[in-house]
Chain A
Amino acid sequence: MGDHIFWDLFFEALQETLFLVFGTGLFVLVIGLIIGFFLYASEENSIMKNSLSTKVFHRVLATVNDVARSIPFIILLILLIPFTRSIMGTMLGAKAALPALIISASPFFARVVHMALKEVPRETLEAANSLGASTKTIVYIVFKEAMSSLVTGYTLTLVTLVGFMSAAAVIGAGGLAYLAYEYGKFGNNDQLMYLSIFTILFIVFIIQITGDFIARKINHN
């Protein structure tokens, strides 16, 4: 393999990986925050009114979320093949991995969000209520107080996503893991394999360090 092709392959894969991590990451962030918030808000004595419909809403949401979260990623990937093909038009490449990654990681992050919001002491919210805070303000306070935990949880989710992507590589989704798998196992190009693997590690490392740094910066507990 010539130098030129080697680096072309590598950079293309790197681009795909970054697209997958941050593209999926963005979807997971939004979906997870919304589901996680409603899981929290619909709990008893939380933000939504205590009523039968709130209770049912919470149950349904929690069940759907937990089921989606419990399916092992690789199984979900296979389950979703027809769905992916119909909306993405392909079963190969980076784009093909998006639906499974999003459906798998969002419920995970939703639970992380739920837990982080739950950590905010009831007493803090009671104090805000005693000041006459509106529901909007209460929601703002909950997120503000939970921010450090949310960042830590999101970091964890991104790192998990990188792991999921490596699994997706097996069914042909692109990226660095695919490169390592294909060229390491079948192409006998150890250099490319190790470069891919170390780059993946490096990405994980950068995500973790950045996440930890931000979380520490905003943590005043």
Chain B
Amino acid sequence: MIEIKNVSKSYKINKIEQDVLTDVNLLIEENEILGIVGLSGAGKSTLIRMMNGLVKPSKGQVFVNGRAIHNLRQKDLNRMRYAIGMVFQHFNLLSSMTVEDNIKLALKIANYKKEEIKDRIHEVIDLVGLNDKLKAYPKDLSGGQRQRVAIARALANKPSILLCDEATSSLDQVTASEIVKLLRKIQSKTNITIVFITHQIEVAKDLCKRIIVMDSGKIIEDSSTKDLFVRPVHPKTKQLIKSIVYDVSLPQRDVYELIYSEKNNNETIISDTVKHFDIDLNIIQAKSISIQEEYIGYLYVQLFGKQIDNAITFLKSKGIEVNRHG
């Protein structure tokens, strides 16, 4: 469990104090997969680095598994870090060591017994599916493979928390989704808590049950992934979602956004609406996106007619979100 209490952080950049985080509160439960989404400069990287003490808060407290991590002596902090794995955007493997030695390093740091090291290396390399690459050097691996090694290294000490800092951001789409799949597999096998930072909301939606959105050092939205996509509140969140939902420019007038999230695909809702309320309807764009096992449909339409308000009430009664657009 990670608890962040009233945390602020400011850095001195060119002798000017700059606030990176302002009064952040966050509770991350055990076994949770939490996504932290926001544009670069939102403070995500600083926030995640507080969870393993790489960055100390200027104000506030950070508790990890009940211990005040911002207050530990270096030695205790190091020991604490054995239980918190971390993976990075650029993998950060040691280029002078083989895959095996990179993983071994993590185990040695955590004072693993010699006899157990070999077995553990095989367990984690098996988990990430790179058994044949133990003797390879990082430069001989693809980006996706390197990230798998980095994940194996982070998991070697059986941590209870895995921090991912833009772990898929330098990978192509296909490889990124493979890494996401791997993380989900790991989570279901080990019940590890995963904190996943990304600027790609489309990656977060495939992995996380809960997403928080950050902007300018603040948490501006905190909800389940599905709710975030069906009922976003903050304009910045809407903007983030918009970037993956539609890419055409919509006409200015009479446009409505219909969001389907319930299982109502056996009903003829649209044609009922058109018939009962004497509505003319023009479809501009439709798209559905998957959120793990569920689907959400986005429909952009122009509505014309005298009973539009009644029509909208009817649509809402059928579990469809209706927003006037523009």
- Show the binding face of A for B, using Cβ within 8 Å: 121, 123-124, 126-134, 137, 141, 144-145, 147-148, 218, 220-221
> Measured between alpha carbons, how far is A144 from B137 in the docked complex, in Å?
14
Residues from chain A with Cβ under 8 Å of B79 in the complex: 132
B120 at the interface (CB under 8 A from A): no
Number of interface residues of B (CB under 8 A): 31
CB distance from B152 to the nearest CB of A (A): 12
Residues from chain A with Cβ under 8 Å of B97 in the complex: 144
Q: Which single residue of chain B is at the shortest CB-CB distance from A147?
A: B96
Contact present for A145 and B94 (CB under 8 Å) = yes
Residues from chain A with Cβ under 8 Å of B92 in the complex: 121, 123-124, 126-127
Please choose the segment from B103-111, B190-198, B313-321 that sits at the chain A interface, where 4 or more of its residues have CB less than 8 A away: B103-111
5 A–B pairs (Cβ distance < 8 Å), ordered by A: A127-B93, A128-B105, A128-B109, A130-B52, A132-B79
> Measured between alpha carbons, how far is A220 from B135 in the docked complex, in Å?
12
Checking A132, A145, A147 against B109 with a beta-carbon cut-off of 8 angstroms, the contacting residue is: A132
Contact present for A123 and B88 (CB under 8 Å) = yes
CB distance from B174 to the nearest CB of A (A): 25
Q: Which single residue of chain A is at the shortest CB-CB distance from B98?
A: A220
> Measured between alpha carbons, how far is A220 from B78 in the docked complex, in Å?
28
Residues from chain A with Cβ under 8 Å of B95 in the complex: 124, 145, 220-221
Once A220-B137, A221-B139 are accepted as A-B contacts, the answer to whether A131 and B81 lie under 8 Å apart by CB is: yes
Residues from chain A with Cβ under 8 Å of B93 in the complex: 124, 127
- Show the binding face of B for A, using Cβ within 8 Å: 52, 54, 77-82, 84-86, 88, 90, 92-97, 105-106, 109-110, 137-139, 150, 153-154, 157, 163
Residues from chain A with Cβ under 8 Å of B88 in the complex: 123, 126-127
Once A130-B84, A132-B81, A132-B82 are accepted as A-B contacts, the answer to whether A137 and B96 lie under 8 Å apart by CB is: no
Contact present for A132 and B110 (CB under 8 Å) = yes
Residues from chain B with Cβ under 8 Å of A134 in the complex: 78, 109
Once A127-B88, A132-B80 are accepted as A-B contacts, the answer to whether A220 and B109 lie under 8 Å apart by CB is: no
Residues from chain B with Cβ under 8 Å of A129 in the complex: 54, 81
Residues from chain B with Cβ under 8 Å of A137 in the complex: 109
Residues from chain B with Cβ under 8 Å of A147 in the complex: 96
- A131-B106, A141-B105 known; 5 other A-B pairs, CB under 8 Å? A126-B54, A130-B81, A132-B109, A137-B109, A144-B96
Residues from chain A with Cβ under 8 Å of B86 in the complex: 127, 130
> Measured between alpha carbons, how far is A123 from B90 in the docked complex, in Å?
8
Residues from chain B with Cβ under 8 Å of A141 in the complex: 94, 105
> Measured between alpha carbons, how far is A126 from B86 in the docked complex, in Å?
10
Residues from chain A with Cβ under 8 Å of B77 in the complex: 132
- 10 A-B pairs closest in CB distance: A132-B81, A127-B92, A132-B78, A130-B86, A220-B137, A123-B92, A131-B106, A131-B109, A132-B82, A144-B96
